[in-house]
Structure 1
Amino acid sequence: MTPNDLLTKQDLDNFKKELFELLKPITDSQMVSKQKWLRSKDVREFLNISAGTLNHLRVTGALVARKIGKTYFYSAEDIDKELNKGEKKSPKRKS
């Protein structure tokens, strides 16, 4: 075994940080999908859209929101359905 083959604690710490950075988007989206209701801020971050775009989606009825006090809440299930509407089916090939 050569000195270059040894792992240091610092090497493992660096690997852990890199791994968590790679997994963060996956775990964030799973956490959002487990929530039943989402606040506007969470929806904007999840969809990567502006407040104006979210307002437009709400006004046009593309996303249904419930308002409690001054806060809008969106159903995670509705958002998931809306996202899945955009998926295109693969074309069928003729034999």
Structure 2
Amino acid sequence: MSIKILTLEDLNEFKSELLGDIQNLMAEPQNEKPKKWIKSSEVRKMLSISAGTLQNLRINGTLPYTKFGSVIYYNAHLINEILESNHIQGS
């Protein structure tokens, strides 16, 4: 068994390669498919609204939803469409 001594240059080279690999991984698009159905907590976070406001949007028909058991789900694609259709151009 031979012993190999690491130098400061070896460590710096390793660090550079590792940082480069991490940056490449972060720059690559993730293969994660977007969710089709999202829960109320995700919608509230997405829209920065309270639970009461979300309930009002359900009641007045602004946001369509599906209820399965006691959990309410929203179609993420429809929420994005609603946001896009209500987009106001700045001057």
TM-score band, normalised by shorter chain: 0.5 to 0.7
Runs ≥4 in structure 1, deviation > 4 angstroms?
none
Match of 1:40 in 2: 40
Q: What SS does the aligned partner of 2:66 have? A: strand
Query: Normalization by structure 1: what TM-score?
Result: 0.58
Amino acid at match of 1:62: T
Aligned position for 1:68: 68
Percent of aligned pairs with the same amino acid: 35
Alpha-carbon distance in structure 2 between the residues aligned to 1:38 and 1:51: 15
Tell me the distance in 2 between the aligned counterparts of 1:42 and 1:89: 26
* 1:34 CA drift (Å): 1.2
Q: 1:37 to 1:90 in 2, by over 3 A?
A: same
Cα deviation for residue 90 of structure 1 reads 7.3
TM norm structure 2: 0.60
| Offset, 1:77 | 0.8
Deviation at 1:88, TM superposition (A): 2.9
CA shift in 2, pair 1:90/1:47, >3 Å? closer
Letter paired with 2:75: S
Q: Counterparts of 2:50 and 2:89 in 1: how far apart (Å)?
A: 28
Contiguous gaps of at least 5 residues in structure 2:
1-11, 20-31
Counterpart residue identity of residue 69, structure 2: G
Residue correspondences, number: 64
Which has the larger helix fraction?
1
Bigger radius of gyration: 2
What do you get for the CA RMSD once the two structures are aligned? 2.6
Are residues 1:84 and 2:84 paired?
A: yes
Question: Structure 1 unaligned runs (5+)?
Answer: 1-8, 17-30
Matched, 1:58 2:58: yes
